[in-house]
Amino acid sequence: MSEELPLHAPTAQKPVTKETTVSASTDSLAKDPNIVVKAPRPRWMLHIQALFWRFLMGIGMFLHKFAFPRPMSPKFKRMIPTTVSPMPGQIALHFYVPKDYKERKATGENLYPVVINFHGGGFTLGKATDDARWCTTVVEDVDAVVVSVDYRLAPEHPFPTAVEDGVDAILYLVQNFRDLHIDKEKIALSGFSSGANMCFTVPLRLLKELDMEAAKHEERHMSVIEGTRPALQKAVSDGRVLTKGRAGISIKAICTWYPPTDYTHTREQRKATCARLDQQLPAVFTDLFDESYLQPPTMDMSDPYLSPGCAPDHMLAGLPEETIMFTCEWDMLLKEGEDFRDRLRTLGKTVHYQMVPEAPHGWDKAPNPLKRTPGVQEHYLNACKDLKRLLKVAPDAATMEEAIPSED
């Protein structure tokens, strides 16, 4: 289940007056006389509700992975401390590896491309192993290592903790690429629903982290450099040589599945663009997701680390040149996904886009223990075809460090 839970029960018809929680786009809510704004629930109540649905989701994902052929399990796990978020903690990285990983690692040759995956669940539910079928397909078809991230969840850890944890995952993998036998110049990001949102927001936040580290380094060393080595001083000012060990990061591609990209739209506004209201997630889930992650309720929903569709052009310019995007015809997020696709193309990015017809949000995560959902594997393999091509880019291609955008 991703933001999620592919529940297909028809939603009851609502009266003209609609209720919504205080979460997205407060200004737009105030302008709609038909919307009654509910006060948010206490955090303890959200916590209890989240625990309940996490338990049930665990059962659903067990059934999802039970159908043959069964997906692989992670080969090993690394627990890493968080460094970016002001809220200290640990996150788990789950490693799915090819069959010859141990042998190739022993030789020290032929580093693997790496796909870093972010699961769905509305930033509130879900685990890194929920996408085991996708991870298995990538490992087997792309011959890559897949690292699925157990980022911290709301309501215990609201925005922007998940995004900051995603940055920590990338930094750790780059710092330890030799030990893990992965190629830090051949990185791709993948994600489903809220995890697909992170595929855009995490690299944007990563650029900010590299910029801040560069500024700290410059402050420490500029007094020594100033007046003695002008060429080095210019290099420091340009931010090109400051983050060795944390830079040299080359994200070649982003692969997203049904991403939310603009939280300035309320749930009601999103539903108004949807072809099948009976295929949407019930409010019990969407209210839980929004109230848990979007804190405080008065926060700026256009924050680029929440709504990449609202990010300025100079920030989006720092994203990878190519994106693979899948949306669903019956998803309330379809329009904003297509709008963001068009935005990226306007900026000169290449977007390999496909809308899955007659499919609801999270259609690939149906909890059917008897058979896999038809069409899922075909779409996964189509995505892998592009990933294989993009992850074999020449090693001297521009790195993430070189793509740090100007604030001008």
Render 125-159 in DSSP notation, one character per residue: S--GGGGHHHHHHHHHHH--EEEEEE---TTTS-T
Nearest to 173 by CA among 238, 246, 124: 246
Q: Would you state the pLDDT for residue 69? A: 84
Query: What confidence tens digit (pLDDT) does each residue in 28-77 have?
Result: 444 555 544 567 788 889 999 999 989 998 998 888 787 778 999 999 99
Q: Would you state the pLDDT for residue 205? A: 98
Using H for helix, E for strand and C for coil, what is the string for 236-295?
Answer: HHHCCCCCCCCCCCCEEEEEEECCCCCCCCCHHHHHCCCCCHHHCCCHHHHHHHHHHHCC
Average pLDDT for 297-324? 97
Which CATH number fits the domain 18-208+251-403, given the four candidates 3.90.245.10, 3.40.50.1820, 3.30.450.150, 3.20.20.140?
A: 3.40.50.1820
Indicate the pLDDT class of residue 221, thresholds 50, 70 and 90. low
Spatial distance between the Cα atoms of 128 and 77, rounded to a whole number of angstroms:
11
Phi/psi for 136 (5° steps) reads: -60, -45
Q: Would you state the pLDDT for residue 18? A: 45
Query: Is 80 exceeded by the pLDDT of residue 108?
Result: yes
Spatial distance between the Cα atoms of 265 and 282, rounded to a whole number of angstroms:
17
Nearest to 289 by CA among 32, 28, 53: 53
Spatial distance between the Cα atoms of 57 and 327, rounded to a whole number of angstroms:
22
Quickly tell me which residue has 């022993």 as its tokens: 106
Spatial distance between the Cα atoms of 143 and 96, rounded to a whole number of angstroms:
11
Q: Would you state the pLDDT for residue 212? A: 86
- 248-285 b/e (C-beta count within 10 Å ≥ 16 → b): ebbbbbbbbbbbbbbbbbbbbbbbeebebeebbbebeb
Q: Would you state the pLDDT for residue 150? A: 99
Q: At what angle do helices 194-225 and 161-175 cross, to 10 degrees?
A: 60
Length of the chain equals 408
Quickly tell me which residue has 């539910």 as its tokens: 125
Query: Is 80 exceeded by the pLDDT of residue 266?
Result: yes
Indicate the pLDDT class of residue 366, thresholds 50, 70 and 90. confident
Q: Would you state the pLDDT for residue 222? A: 55
Output the CA torsion sign for 330, 12, 289, 71. negative
Average pLDDT for 306-326? 98
Average pLDDT for 274-284? 87
Query: What confidence tens digit (pLDDT) does each residue in 151-162 have?
Result: 999 999 999 999
Spatial distance between the Cα atoms of 391 and 184, rounded to a whole number of angstroms:
11
Q: Which residue has the higher pLDDT, 241 or 254?
A: 254
Q: Would you state the pLDDT for residue 43? A: 85
Query: Is 50 exceeded by the pLDDT of residue 238?
Result: no
Indicate the pLDDT class of residue 270, thresholds 50, 70 and 90. very high
CA 108, distance to chain mean position in Å, is: 30
Q: Would you state the pLDDT for residue 315? A: 97
Read off the pTM: 0.82
Query: What confidence tens digit (pLDDT) does each residue in 164-217 have?
Result: 999 999 999 999 999 999 999 999 999 999 999 999 999 999 999 998 887 877
Contact 318, 249 (CB under 8 A): no
Lowest mean pLDDT among 36-45, 148-157, 263-272, 369-378: 36-45
Tokens of 408: 């001008």
